[in-house]
Homo-oligomer: A and B are copies of this chain.
Amino acid sequence: MADIGDLVEADSALEQPSWTRAHASTLPASGAWRPSDPPGERQFLRTFVDRTFVLEGGGQLSDVTVAFETWGTLAPDGSNAILLCHALTGDAHAAGRAGPGQPTPGWWDGLIGPGRVLDTDRFFVVCANVLGGCQGTTGPASPRPDRLGVYGAGFPVVTVRDMVRTQARLADALGIGSWAAVVGGSMGGMQVLEWGIMFPERVRLLVPIATCAAATAQQIAYWSTGRRAIALDPAWHGGDYYDAAPGEGPHRGLAVARMISQITFRTDRVFTARFGRDEVEPLSGQFGMWDRFQVERYLEHHGDKLIRRFDANSYLLLTKAMDLHDISRGRGGLTAALGRIQAPVLAVGVSSDTLYPKYQSQELVRVLRSQGGAARYAEIDSPHGHDAFLLELEQVGRLLAGALEEGDSP
């Protein structure tokens, strides 16, 4: 497998892509740096160094870097590896604290570590930043191979299948023949399904959460409207904004895009319980057009948080990848596509998810079973909507633990 790429040490030039560098000064101070607990350390794989990576959408890349983290120790036979696939604005940092160059704590921190559900005394847990992302893996903010600037808007359209192919390169490089499990929510769940279809012999358990076999028109509607909000921001500048001064760039457009999606990630019920009609600027005296209710401040806060750590062009690219997600494309339909899966599947829905409604997970299981597949549906019972897969860690953990015990795990 040595021909497909080289594991390289952290390359400081890559660790902070130019986009991140430009905005590092705006990152909030998050306390002194401490080693993540449990240990995880960002590493980088250079791959497609000597050959062209022809993407599903016709674009081409070469010299692709994949940023990833691992927890635990790989068994000599490579049998105990679990791949976690992150969602839209996640990254390889599935566990551990925030710190310099790592603006967020691990997105599933509570699940990963010694004695935890993803027990690092037992499993070797891997998480890689997706192709097109902005936390170390090659994306629009990355320098071009010729080092003449960054890709910017010239970065080709990527699909979930392209993401999975880079992850397969990583598995090859790490010496992982097959994953004990591939697990992920939302866009991560799309990768899980593609793993099962593209590499059926390399996965032994699939856990797609709050996801779908193909993006629906409504999902496309929401994501594509967010993309148009980014393009509306004059600072987006056709995607070429990487020479913008610190604090400049298409932040307002990205924030509006995030506001749209943040609404769809949660629910009416929880918004009412949490914010109701509480005001930031009190409704007394003169009412102002831009006076805010608390829910507006909440959305602004989520927009502000995202623009400090996320590249607008990556947002465009990854939401487009989600819209393009359709496991049936070029495979003779949904049933034929799912028929390729050999591993058992635990499809998890969220009771209150309005963005990736649970009927999509249930439908996956229905079709898999109609093919004789070992598939089961389980539900996260939560008022929180789509984001429950990041919030209801106890339920997620219970479902994962059960699947790992019952499934084809080491």
- Chain A residues at the B interface, C-beta cutoff of 8 Å: 56-59, 153, 157, 159, 214-218, 220-222, 224-225, 228-229, 232-234, 252-253, 255-256, 259-260, 263, 267-268, 271-272, 274-277, 283, 285-289, 292-296, 299, 316-317, 320, 323-324, 326, 329, 354, 357
Contacts and interface: CB of A to CB of B under 8 A. Distances in A.
Q: Which of A157, A256, A324 has the most CB of B within 10 A?
A: A256
Number of copies: 2
Contact of A256 (B214, B225, B271): B225
17 contacts: A153-B289, A157-B289, A216-B277, A217-B294, A218-B263, A218-B272, A220-B296, A221-B263, A221-B296, A222-B263, A225-B260, A232-B256, A260-B260, A268-B357, A277-B326, A289-B317, A293-B323
A324 B217 contact: no
A62 to B, nearest CB: 17
Secondary structure call for the A interface: helix
Given A232-B253, A256-B228, A58 B221 contact: no
A255 B276 CA distance: 28
Contacts of A217: 268, 271-272, 274-277, 293-295
Contacts of A277: 214-217, 220, 326
Contacts of A286: 57-59, 157
Contacts of A225: 256, 259-260, 263, 299
Contact of A293 (B220, B222, B272): B220
A201 to B, nearest CB: 28
Given A58-B286, A288-B157, A228 B259 contact: yes
Q: Which of A56, A229, A286, A329 has the most CB of B within 10 A?
A: A229
A274 to B, nearest CB: 7
A169 to B, nearest CB: 21
Contacts of A255: 228
B221 A295 contact: yes
A316 B215 CA distance: 31
Contacts of A215: 277
A269 to B, nearest CB: 9
Contact of A324 (B253, B274, B283): B283
